[in-house]
Amino acid sequence: MAIFGKRSRKTRPTVGLVLGGGGARGFVQVGALKAFKELGIDFELCVGTSVGSIVGALYAAGVSPEEIAAAAEKIEFSDLHGRILIKPDDPRKIGRMVYSLIGDAKIENLYKKYAAVATDLKTGKQVILDKGLVADAVSASSAYPVIYSPLAKDGMNLVDGGLTNNIPADVCRMLGATKIVTVDAHGTRGSGTDSAGMFDMLKAMFSIMSANASVVGLMQSDVVIAPDTSAFGAAKKSGYKEMMELGYNATLEKRSEIEKLFDEEYA
């Protein structure tokens, strides 16, 4: 069950959590949250892009990793998108998944400080969503172009934040973090294709763009958790248990590095 209430008195968290994009590979982030919980590691601030905005919103709302995993296991691609892929679907279908867990919660009322990153198609610039309905924020941040229609909001046409800032470490620092732990769900992104098929070319194009939109964020992260997810698809749920296990184990491997950041925080 989601938890809401007043945030802790510490209004400027120093160690922030960043969750990048990666589609269905976001299951590794759920595994990472499970490891954080077992290690007693708790972040006061979380910023996410695309699937990272979804996982991050639930984390910020106080939904447990076990509850997130249970909900994710029930989700099928058909719940998020119609079967006609050549027709862009309503991005609010993504938000409904979050709504089913936390209702019409507003970002301002979440247990932890949170922001989602989207892209405004009109200006080509990133948009930081740190106010308003959580369901709208994750819908906008995850609205992959062509697959989903833009989400119209405040005169903007918002789509996937991965186009401009796939690893939003700079946004996390802007919101108060001085140290960053990033969980990158797709560290092997950026591969091209030798196919002349339209969908293969589109997939390669967005993969290359996503890689370029990740470079600065990775450089600005103090600890990066990036298990190899190249064997898994962005739109396929198959292998989700393995992905969660990958995220869990990769986080445990970085335990000392992460704990050191918190030790420095209180030194």
DSSP secondary structure of 27-65? HHHHHHHHHHHHHT---SEEEEETHHHHHHHHHHTT--H
* C-alpha distances out from residue 176 to 45, 169, 170, 179, 181, Å: 8, 11, 10, 9, 14
Q: How far apart are CA 216 and CA 164, in angstroms?
A: 11
CB 16 within 8 A of CB 172: yes
Dihedral angle over CA of 59, 52, 169, 152, nearest 10: -110
Q: How far apart are CA 187 and CA 22, in angstroms?
A: 9
Amino acid sitting at position 176: G
Give the pair of three-digit tokens for residue 262: 């918190």
Catalytic residues: 50, 160
Amino acid sitting at position 140: A
DSSP state of 184: -
> What phi and psi values does residue 213 have, to the nearest 5 degrees?
-80, 0
